[in-house]
Amino acid sequence: MAKLYFNYSSMNAGKSTVLLQASYNYVERGMHTLLMTAAVDDRAGVGRISSRIGLSAAADIFRAEDDLFEHIRKAHAAKPVDAVFVDEAQFLTEAQVWQLAQAADRIGMPVMCFGLRTDFQGQLFPGSKALLALADSLKEIKTICWCGRKATMVARLDGAGRIVEEGEQVVIGGEESYVSLCRRHWVDKDLGQGSGEPA
């Protein structure tokens, strides 16, 4: 369906894996997908979407100043696009979320965005805030806290594995830099490392 979708979660829930699998399903049926990811996230290399389980694919990059509607329109004119997949959607600007909505509405294709909902301080990312307001479909991809409860929050860690409470909203990092926690343990700043506390 030609809609704007937002699939969100905390860190390490498998968002990129789900994105790559969904794109593969289209390609397997002879369709063409357009993959996009944020230029700022170069952990797997610039213009590459990669999952923790080893799946990866090349992707177009977007920067804050890019017009994504025009990008999609030009790509679609060159080779018809059946679906657009956007990884690291939390890094979109509000204007870019509107541009993606226009691609769904005016070009007529599903635009599926995958990203974090909140940062390490529990605040919405600008892209996620706009997607929560504008997306036709919202879906949470679940992961768990160390205690077994659903993880909805993200804690940032310093080099010694301690929780960081202040700093820039965007610091690129993987499992060594972030951990997903349930709300209770995020508030308590409890990483569960030998605490022995019952859940």
Cβ proximity of 150 and 182 under 8 Å: yes
Structure tokens at 151: 């993880």
Residue pointed to by tokens 């030998």: 194
User: Which H/E stretch holds residue 178?
Assistant: strand 178-181
> Of 88, 94, 168, 175, which one is the catalytic site residue?
88
The question of whether 140 is a catalytic residue gets the answer no
Half-sphere exposure of 3 (CA within 13 A, CB side): 9
Spatial distance between the Cα atoms of 98 and 5, rounded to a whole number of angstroms: 12
Closest CA to 165 of 180, 155, 176, 151: 155
Catalytic residues: 88
